[in-house]
A = this chain, B = another copy of it.
Amino acid sequence: MLDQVDQSILRHLVENARMSIKEIAQQVGLSSPSISDRIRRLEERGIIRGYTLDIDPKALGFPLQAIVHIRPLPGKLHAVQQLIEELAAFGECDKVTGDDCYFARLYIRSIEELDTILNKIVEKAETRTSIVKSQPVLRRPPPF
B-contacting residues of A (Cβ < 8 Å)? 1-2, 10, 13-18, 45-62, 65, 67, 81, 84-85, 88-98, 100, 102-104, 107, 130-144
A100–B16 Cα distance when bound, in Å, is 34
Instruction: Tell me, in angstroms, the Cα distance from A2 to B55 when the chains sit together.
Output: 13
Tell me which of B47, B53, B65, B67 contacts A14 (CB under 8 A): B53
Distance of A133 Cα from B67 Cα, bound (Å): 18
Q: Which of B131, B136, B141 contacts A84 (CB 8 A)?
A: B136
A39 nearest CB neighbor, chain B only: B18
Is A137 in contact with B48, judged by CB distance below 8 angstroms?
A: no
Which of B1, B65, B81, B140 contacts A94, CB < 8 Å?
B65
- Taking a contact as CB atoms under 8 Å apart, the answer to whether A132 and B55 are in contact is no
Q: Is the CB of B55 within 8 A of A47?
A: yes
Query: Closest Cβ of chain B: how far from A76's Cβ, in Å?
Result: 14
Contact of A88 among B53, B139, B143 (CB under 8 A): B143
Partner of A55, one of B58, B62, B91, B141: B141
The complex places the Cα of A54 from the Cα of B94 at a distance, in Å, of 17
Q: Report B-chain residues with C-beta under 8 Å of the C-beta of A57.
A: 141-142
Q: Are B17 and A92 within 8 A (Cβ)?
A: no
Query: Which of A2, A88, A141 has the most B CB atoms < 10 Å from its CB?
Result: A141
A36 CA to B124 CA, complexed, in Å: 46
